[in-house]
Amino acid sequence: MKTTFGEYIRLLRTEKDLTLTQLAAKLNLDSANLSKIENGIRDFDEKRLPKLANIFGLNLKELGEEYITDQLGKRIYETNCTKQLLKVAEEKAEYRRTLNKNLQTEKAV
Partner DNA sequence: ATAAGACTTGTCATTTTTTGACAAATCTAA
Partner DNA sequence: TTAGATTTGTCAAAAAATGACAAGTCTTAT
Looking at residue 42, what DSSP letter applies?
S
Whole-angstrom CA distances from 21 to 7, 31, 47, 98 are 17, 5, 19, 47
42 touching DNA, by CB under 7 A = yes
39 touches, from a copy of itself, DNA, none (C-beta below 5 to 8 Å by class): DNA
Tell me the number of residues near DNA by CB under 7 A: 19
Q: How far is the CB of 4 from a copy of itself (least distance, A)?
A: 7
* Closer to DNA by Cβ: residue 45 or 94: 45
**CA proximity to 43, closest of 82, 79, 75:** 75
Q: How far is the CB of 51 from DNA (least distance, A)?
A: 11
